[in-house]
Structure formats: structure tokens, C-alpha cells
């Protein structure tokens, strides 16, 4: 069985949980608590799986797969239905670019280890850290909104009428932005897509609150 090393609040793990649910793949969730015991992701057993010390890790085919987007592409290649990427190469490029715009240009700036470095090493203070968080979340989501609004008529989700890799990334990012009190009310297309996703049971089952380690 597939084993996903996950932390309930990790948006990267959340992306993979959504993909596993959309594919209907049985899997075991192995919680990795990023705060307890100095961070379970920094313990030797976990570092053997992933030297970068980051969740998620998917154990599949005898390998420990890392990086949420690489994991989701693997799931899509090995379990093609329902597809998480469209068929046409230009459309695939658009969906991947939306996903990467979230996974490269927003999330890495705002994850736990980065916020800690700002606070502990650069001593920017709580107000500085929060300004940083909101700046990148809002700037990034505004660019996503601009991109989605151009093609809002094209479907109910980020691309077309069913969820793709892009929606697997968008929903966790909106979840994070709200948790950190970022402005989102000026992002109507983003929010409409988010709400359509969260009306689906697959997204609900993947959400942080439904995880065994939620608390």
C-alpha cells in the first residue's frame, strides 16, 4: 500500500492528499509532526527517507518519493484516471505553470523553516515576519487571480470542468492564506474555484481538519 508521510497543516502534503483522494488510491497516512520533539522531520529515520527533511514523502514502488509535484505527476502517470493534467501540451503547460507559480513563487517563501529563520536568525520581529508572509501570499495569489480571470469562462476549476494538478495546489494555498489572515476577498476567481473544490468530498477528506494528526 502507498504510504504518505504527512503533516496535517503542510500545504505540500495537503496537495498530495488531494491527488490521492481524486485518484481514489488506498493509502496509509504516517504523521510527521514538524513541531514536536524538535521536529520529527529532522530525526535520522526520516532523514534517511528524505535528506532534505521535508514532508511529504510518498513510499511507492520501493522508493521514497519527494516533492509534492513530482509525487502527483508520478501518481498521474501510474494511475491515469481521472487525469490530473489535460491532454494537449499547451494546456498541460498552463496547468503546470499555475501549480508551479504556487509551489515555487508563494509557498517556499512562507513555510515554517523560512519563517523561523527570519525570526531567529535575522530577528525581524513578529510584525516583520507577518508583513513578509502577507506580502508573498497576496502578491502571489494576485498574479494567480490575474491569470485565472483571463480564462475564468473556460471552466469551473483552474483549467476546465474538473480538478487538475493546479487545483491540488490552489486549495491548500488559499487555506494557508486564510489561516494567516491574508487578504483574499479581492480574488473572486480564486475563491470561486476554491469553494467549488471544497464542495467535493475528495478535497474535504484531504483537508487538515480531517487528518489523524490534526489537533
Q: Which residues contact 187 (CB under 8 A, 6 or more apart)?
A: 141, 142, 144, 145
Shortest approach of a second copy to residue 56 CB, angstroms? 11
Binding mask 45-74 for a second copy (x = CB under 8 A): ------xxxx-----xx-x-xxx-xxx-xx
Contact yes or no for 28/1 (Cβ under 8 A): yes
- Region class of 64: left (phi > 0), else alpha (psi between -120 and 50), else beta: beta
Question: Which one among 5, 15, 27, 107 touches a second copy, defined by CB under 8 A?
Answer: 107
Q: Alpha-carbon distance 8 to 165, whole Å?
A: 19
Nearest one of 72, 89, 69 to 80, comparing CA atoms:
72
Q: Which residues contact 16 (CB under 8 A, 6 or more apart)?
A: 4, 6, 56, 58, 68, 71, 72, 75, 168
User: Sign of dihedral through CA atoms 33, 101, 138, 134?
Assistant: positive
* Phi, psi dihedrals of residue 6, rounded to the nearest 5°: -145, 150
Residue 155 binds a second copy (CB under 8 A): no
**Nearest residue (CB) to a second copy, 85 versus 200:** 85
Q: Which of 26, 89, 201, 215 binds a second copy (CB under 8 A)?
A: 89
Among 78, 179, 195, 205, binds a second copy (CB under 8 A): 78
CB closer to a second copy, 25 vs 124: 124
Does position 112 interact with a second copy (CB under 8 A)? The reply is no
Contact between 180 and a second copy by CB under 8 A: the answer reads no
| Least spacing, CB of residue 208 vs a second copy, in Å | 20
The answer to whether 116 contacts a second copy (rule: CB under 8 A) is: no
Instruction: Choose the binding region for a second copy from 123-131, 186-194, 196-204, 205-213 (rule: CB under 8 A).
Output: 123-131
Cell of 54: 521535508
101 lines the binding site for a second copy (CB under 8 A): yes
151 touches a second copy (CB under 8 A) = no
Segment near a second copy (CB under 8 A), from 121-129, 155-163, 169-177, 188-196?
Answer: 121-129
Amino acid at each position: 500500500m502507498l504510504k504518505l508521510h504527512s503533516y496535517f497543516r503542510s500545504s505540500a502534503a495537503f496537495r498530495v492528499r488531494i491527488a490521492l483522494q481524486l485518484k481514489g488510491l488506498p493509502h496509509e497516512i504516517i504523521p510527521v509532526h514538524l513541531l514536536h520533539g524538535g521536529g520529527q522531520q529532522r530525526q535520522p529515520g526520516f532523514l534517511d527517507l528524505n535528506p532534505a527533511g521535508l514532508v511529504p514523502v510518498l513510499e511507492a514502488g520501493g522508493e521514497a518519493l519527494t516533492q509534492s509535484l513530482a509525487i502527483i505527476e508520478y501518481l498521474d502517470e501510474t494511475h491515469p484516471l481521472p487525469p490530473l493534467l489535460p491532454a494537449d501540451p499547451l494546456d498541460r503547460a498552463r496547468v503546470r505553470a499555475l501549480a508551479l507559480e504556487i509551489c515555487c513563487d508563494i509557498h517556499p517563501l512562507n513555510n515554517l523553516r523560512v519563517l523561523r529563520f527570519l525570526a531567529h536568525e535575522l530577528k525581524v520581529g513578529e510584525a516583520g515576519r507577518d508583513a513578509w508572509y502577507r506580502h508573498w501570499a497576496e502578491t502571489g495569489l494576485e498574479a494567480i487571480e490575474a491569470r485565472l480571470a483571463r480564462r475564468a469562462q473556460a471552466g469551473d476549476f483552474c483549467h476546465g470542468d474538473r480538478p487538475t494538478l493546479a487545483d491540488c495546489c490552489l486549495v491548500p494555498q488559499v487555506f494557508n492564506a486564510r489561516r494567516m489572515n491574508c487578504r483574499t476577498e479581492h480574488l473572486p476567481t480564486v475563491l470561486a474555484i476554491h469553494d467549488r473544490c471544497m464542495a467535493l468530498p475528495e478535497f474535504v477528506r484531504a483537508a487538515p481538519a480531517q487528518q489523524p494528526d490534526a489537533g
